[in-house]
């Protein structure tokens, strides 16, 4: 029966409460660092478990629909034809060799023999063809990768040739994991493609198999080693767990306390992670933030049709000050959209525009705009781009340019604002890519939403065509020529590269972001 105690709890009562609390805490603390969660190296050379904290849930288990920013969800289970490996080197995967036709209009692939999907069916040329054709025709984020694909010819059971409608210097990129379609789906998976969701097992030939029974979609995605995988030496773990941690602090806490081995980092926690004794960090400044000066023919704002005005905007920006204020030590000022590590980058282009308001004013006077003008700008309320826009406003005002800012709140509104010819400049955050891919997104006259006024610059197109046709050994030179031209013509006003950060615990290897790779490949992660 419930009784109300008379008087205050005695010393003995408090002692009992304290003892019970302590015992409970100690009992529970035994679970805080469950040894089963620690990836200790097993005797067979394969560690039992890797836990990787990612910042967003999977958009499916179909590699066609997986956002390649979170490619690990698919890559773990779907082997690509060609593997875009550490240092940006293409390695054989399902394809043991390849040959690119002169002029970059076709690629022939020779598949490994004896390789099977996880369900035991063979990985042959017919299966690869079916998977590629499905991906190219699907309503998915990755279908654009194969928009230039014209036909696929089977030479024999293990050989096929992909022919394109027009040249593409990134044919290997196209059939790697980088663009999604390169990860091959089995015929059985294609036959029930609508069921290839987070509720069903994966249907690839990857190093691991997705196990829905051990997964909680949206929270935990579990993969087990594929016993049929063709190269067991690449399977570093018995089990992979991708754990969704949307709150950056939660991811860092989990890493600090040993609950995860690798975590996607965030600017919000970067300083704390850098100071932590138990956390290692890898980061790459690669996402350029700034303005896309889209009205290059002066259709809406006549002044923007003059290259000197666009150059003046670039000279008016104090990139170092903005970068330091917003990103601290985790950003790099830039005048160029191509980041270091990518084919288009040159040191000269990266620092082409110094902060020089006097020169900027002189250029405006020279162009016939001594009193400046109004510049309609569309920005977005995410990714910190509105902050960058705010920082630019007083700098452009200093040379007489008044920014009239319209802030959008979602992708659709942003795409509309970038293409409806109501803004002459649009705030942009764009992850640097090989120059050809960037040019496809940003420079082609029909590229939307990033070339909203459809600028058709014959010189830029000529340089792009040269890049399109370039042999591998000439490709970087052509990419740099195109990037330099775009910088000189002030197509954009980049401000800084914002970072992609990865945190990991001591003893984890394979997490370096180098050679143009913006995401850690889960297949490279291993233990020392």
Partner 1 sequence: MGRVVGRWFLTALPVVVVVSMLTFVLASLVPGDPARTILGINAPQEQVDALRQQLGLDLPLPQRYWDWLVAAAHGDLGRSITTRGSVAAELAGRLQVTLSLVVLGLIVIVLVGVGLGLISAIKGGWLGRAVDLLSLIGLAVPGFWLGLVLVAVLAVAVPIFPATGFVHFSDSPTGWAASMALPVLTLALTGTAGLAKQTRSSVLDELGKDYVRMLRARGLSERRVILLHVSRNAGAPIVTVVGLLFIGLVSGAVLLETVFVLPGLGSLTVAATKAHDIPVILGVTLILSFVVVTVNLLVEISYALLNPKVRT
Question: Which structure tokens are listed for 105?
Answer: 């209009």
Q: Using the minimum distance from each CB to partner 1, give the nearer residue, 57 or 298.
A: 57
- Looking at the Cβ atoms of 111 and 426, the one nearer to partner 1 is 426
Give the C-alpha separation, 259 to 256, whole Å.
8
What token pair was written down for 264?
A: 């996607």
Smallest distance, Å, CB 407 to partner 1?
Answer: 12
Contact 79, 204 (CB under 8 A): yes
Residue 245 or 495: the one with the smaller Cβ distance to partner 1 is 245
Of 56 and 307, CB closest to partner 1: 56
Q: Which is nearer to partner 1, 255 or 425 (CB)?
A: 255
**What span, in angstroms and rounded, lies between the C-alpha atoms of 348 and 286?**
17
- Shortest separation between residue 472's beta carbon and partner 1, angstroms: 26
What proportions of the chain, in percent to the nearest 5, are helix, strand and coil? 35, 25, 40
d(CA 198, CA 11): 56
Query: In angstroms, what is the minimal distance from the CB of 525 to partner 1?
Result: 20
The DSSP string of 95-131 is EEEEEEPTTSSEEEEEEPTT-B-TTS-B--HHHHHHH
Tokens of 21: 């609390």
Of the two residues 60 and 302, which places its CB atom closer to partner 1 in the complex? 60
Query: What is the nearest approach in angstroms of partner 1 to the Cβ of residue 74?
Result: 13
Nearest distance from C-beta of residue 200 to partner 1, angstroms: 9
CB of 412 to partner 1, least distance (A): 4
Q: Please report, as ranges, the residues that interact with partner 1 according to CB under 8 A.
A: 2-4, 25, 27-34, 56-60, 62, 65, 67, 139-141, 143-144, 194, 197-199, 216-220, 243-247, 249-250, 253-254, 256-257, 259, 409-415, 441, 447-450
Q: How far, rounded to the nearest angstrom, does the alpha carbon of residue 418 sit from its chain's CA centroid?
A: 22
Cα 317 to Cα 5, 147, 295, 473, distances in angstroms: 72, 37, 19, 36
Closest to partner 1 by CB, 243 or 361: 243
Q: Are 438 and 337 in contact (CB under 8 A)?
A: yes
Segment holding 12, helix H or strand E: helix 11-32
State the minimum distance, in angstroms, from the CB of residue 60 to partner 1. 5
């Amino acid at each position: 029966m419930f009784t109300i105690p008379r008087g205050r709890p005695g010393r003995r009562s408090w002692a009992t409460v304290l003892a019970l609390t302590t015992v409970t805490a100690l009992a529970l603390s035994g679970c805080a660092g469950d040894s089963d969660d620690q990836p200790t190296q097993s005797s067979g050379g394969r560690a039992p478990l890797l836990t990787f904290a990612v910042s967003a849930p999977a958009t499916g288990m179909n590699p066609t629909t997986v956002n390649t920013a979170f490619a690990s969800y698919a890559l773990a289970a779907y082997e690509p034809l060609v593997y875009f490996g550490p240092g940006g080197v293409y390695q054989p995967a399902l394809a043991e060799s390849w040959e690119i036709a002169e002029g970059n209009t076709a690629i022939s692939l020779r598949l490994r023999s004896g390789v099977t999907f996880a369900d035991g069916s063979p990985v042959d040329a017919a299966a690869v063809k079916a998977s590629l054709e499905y991906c190219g025709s699907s309503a998915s984020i990755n279908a654009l990768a194969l928009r230039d694909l014209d036909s696929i010819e089977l030479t024999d059971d293990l050989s096929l040739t992909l022919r394109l409608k027009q040249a593409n210097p990134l044919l290997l990129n196209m059939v790697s994991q980088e663009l999604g379609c390169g990860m091959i789906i089995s015929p059985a998976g294609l036959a029930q493609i609508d069921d290839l969701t987070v509720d069903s097992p994966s249907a690839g030939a990857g190093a691991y198999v997705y196990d829905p029974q051990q997964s909680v979609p949206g929270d935990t995605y579990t993969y087990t080693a594929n016993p049929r995988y063709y190269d067991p030496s690449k399977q570093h773990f018995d089990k992979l767990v991708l754990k969704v941690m949307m709150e950056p602090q939660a991811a860092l806490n989990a890493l600090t306390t040993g609950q995860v081995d690798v975590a996607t980092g965030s600017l919000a926690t970067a300083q704390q992670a850098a100071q932590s004794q138990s956390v290692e960090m890898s980061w790459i400044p690669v996402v350029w933030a700034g303005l896309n000066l889209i009205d290059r023919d002066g259709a809406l704002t006549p002044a923007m049709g003059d290259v000197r005005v666009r150059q003046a905007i670039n000279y008016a920006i104090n990139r170092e000050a903005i970068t330091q204020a917003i990103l601290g030590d985790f950003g790099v000022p830039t005048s160029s959209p191509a980041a270091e590590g990518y084919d288009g980058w040159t040191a000269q282009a990266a620092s082409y525009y110094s902060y020089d308001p006097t020169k900027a004013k002189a250029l405006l006077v020279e162009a016939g705009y001594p009193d400046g003008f109004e510049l309609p700008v569309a920005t977005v309320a995410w990714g910190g781009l509105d902050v960058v826009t705010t920082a630019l406003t007083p700098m452009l005002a200093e040379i007489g340019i008044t920014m009239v800012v319209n802030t959008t709140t979602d992708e659709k509104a942003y795409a509309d604002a970038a293409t409806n010819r109501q803004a002459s400049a649009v705030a942009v955050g764009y992850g640097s890519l090989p120059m050809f891919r960037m040019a496809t997104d940003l420079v082609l006259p029909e590229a939307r939403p990033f070339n909203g006024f459809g600028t058709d610059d014959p010189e830029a197109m000529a340089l792009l065509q040269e890049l399109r046709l370039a042999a591998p050994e000439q490709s970087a030179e052509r990419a740099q020529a195109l990037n330099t031209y775009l910088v000189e013509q002030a197509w954009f006003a980049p401000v800084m590269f914002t970072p992609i950060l990865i945190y990991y615990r001591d003893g984890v290897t394979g997490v370096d972001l180098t050679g143009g790779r913006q995401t850690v490949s889960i297949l490279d992660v291993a233990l020392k």
